[in-house]
Amino acid sequence: MTEPSLDDIATEDEADTRPILIVPYMWIGDFVRGHSVVRVLKKRWPNRPIDILVSKLVAPLVDYMPGVRAGVVWNLPRGKITFGDQTGLAAEFRKRGYGTALVMPRTWKSALAPALAGIPERTGFVGEVRFGLLNDWRWGEKALPRMIDRKGALALPRGAKPPAEWPMPQLRVPPSEILQWRQANGLGDGKAVALGPGSVGPAKRWSYYPEAARQLAAQGHDVWVIGGPGETELAAEIVAAAGPRARDLTGHDLRNGVIAMATAEIAIANDSGLMHIAAALGTPTMGIFGPTSPYHWAPLNPLAATVLTKTVVPCQPCHQPVCTMNNHACMRDIPATDLVAIATALMADAN
């Protein structure tokens, strides 16, 4: 697939080797989409190493992101500023000798450690009275319609016109790692459908994963349930409905989810981090959307299918984590038979 978007970005000083730090959003889906920023930066400066600040949760993702040198693992507490953590993180930044920091969030907290570290170029949008913490101010964030437009703008020169399309995120898992993972989990070498039934907020969770899993297993497909510890109870329900062809592969390590999505024949997921992971891996991915808009929140990578209710739901999209209408119609009006029919057709086309 050609990507004219990268051709729209000029290569600058190839002699510049100063490392770049990205301070990203830590939600899994936003973090994956942020790989587009890495690709823009590598086009501008091919020889500048790129590191990303990561939490322990998202740290495994950087191992599969081309163009990223390292993740700087540091869990800053949510909802408060602890200067001990900030000064410790700043000391780590100083050791790595960054020439530029791109601060994606608009918070004061996110800009503090790069400033304390004395990183010469600190780029970010105006927000939370961060004067003095940043020295490359950008304006107009609210006029940019999507998260990727806002992130990508920070990776371009001030005032530069954005590319026609942002480069798509990429995740790559080595075949040897897939083979080891299959062996470690006793999964053989058969094809499987990966289900991602979780999401942030119950409103984004499709209602009929157990029935869909039962139908897929009855067709002879292996079914893997992928997710974090918050999906363990739902995974048990899905496995009970689908029978012996289903496996609960939920757990604490996001690496497990990445490799599972890379291994599956097809992935079916709500609007969630796992949907973005599967799409960035190149696995045919069905994204189920209810309260959120595919235009704003679908992956930049093409989805094999974008699944929406066929009925008219006046409140859709509401972008609320909990259904305020108390009927969850945007998800309940997508029958399992419809979803399974789409998945079956996609798998038939691939074979």
Q: Are residues 107 and 224 in the same domain?
A: no
Q: Are residues 151 and 241 in the same domain?
A: no
Mean pLDDT of 124-135: 87
pLDDT range class, residue 76, cuts 50, 70, 90: confident
Domain count, the chain: 2
Residue among 254, 256, 303, 252 at smallest CA distance from 276: 303
Q: Are residues 258 and 346 in the same domain?
A: yes
Q: Are residues 188 and 141 in the same domain?
A: no
Least confident of 55-64, 77-86, 326-335: 77-86
Q: What share of the chain is helix, strand, coil (3-state, %, to 5)?
A: 40, 15, 45
Integer CA distances (angstroms), 17 to 47, 93, 123, 231, 351, in order: 5, 16, 18, 43, 45
* pLDDT 10s digits, 105-126: 999 999 999 999 999 999 999 8
Q: Are residues 121 and 214 in the same domain?
A: no
Q: Would residue 145 count as lying in a domain?
A: yes
Q: Would residue 166 count as lying in a domain?
A: no
The domain that contains 122 carries what CATH number?
A: 3.40.50.2000
* pLDDT 10s digits, 224-260: 999 999 999 999 999 999 999 999 999 999 999 999 9
Residue 18 phi/psi, 5-degree rounding, is -70, 130
Q: Are residues 144 and 187 in the same domain?
A: no
Q: Would residue 266 count as lying in a domain?
A: yes
Write the DSSP assignment of 142-176 as a string of letters.
GG--SHHHHHHHHHSPTTPPPPSSPPPP-----HH
Predicted confidence at residue 296, as pLDDT, reads 86
Entry pTM: 0.94
Predicted confidence at residue 1, as pLDDT, reads 43
Q: Which of 155, 185, 205 is the last residue of a domain?
A: 155
Q: Are residues 149 and 218 in the same domain?
A: no
Predicted confidence at residue 77, as pLDDT, reads 74
**Residue 2 pLDDT greater than 60, yes or no:** no
Q: Would residue 160 count as lying in a domain?
A: no
Residue among 18, 6, 71, 100 at smallest CA distance from 44: 6
What domain range includes position 233? 175-350
| Angle (deg, nearest 10), helices 108-116 and 83-96 | 50
Return the percentage of the chain with pLDDT > 90, whole number: 78
Q: Please report where in the chains the tokens 């079956």 appear, as a residue.
A: 344
Q: Would residue 170 count as lying in a domain?
A: no
The alpha carbon of 10 is separated from its chain's Cα centroid by a whole number of angstroms, namely 26
Q: Which of 155, 189, 217 is the last residue of a domain?
A: 155
Mean pLDDT of 296-307: 93
CB 29 within 8 A of CB 255: no
Q: Would residue 169 count as lying in a domain?
A: no
Q: Are residues 234 and 119 in the same domain?
A: no
Q: Would residue 197 count as lying in a domain?
A: yes
Higher pLDDT residue, 313 or 75?
313
Taking the alpha carbons of 70, 76, 79, 84 in that order, is the dihedral positive or negative?
negative
Residue among 253, 251, 306, 259 at smallest CA distance from 278: 259
Mean pLDDT of the chain: 93
Q: Are residues 194 and 259 in the same domain?
A: yes
Q: Are residues 133 and 34 in the same domain?
A: yes
Mean pLDDT of 318-334: 89
Q: Are residues 237 and 289 in the same domain?
A: yes
**Residue 181 pLDDT greater than 70, yes or no:** yes
What is the rounded CA–CA span in Å between residue 203 and residue 286? 18
**Residue 102 pLDDT greater than 70, yes or no:** yes
Q: Would residue 13 count as lying in a domain?
A: yes
Q: Are residues 225 and 300 in the same domain?
A: yes
Q: Which of 91, 125, 155 is the last residue of a domain?
A: 155
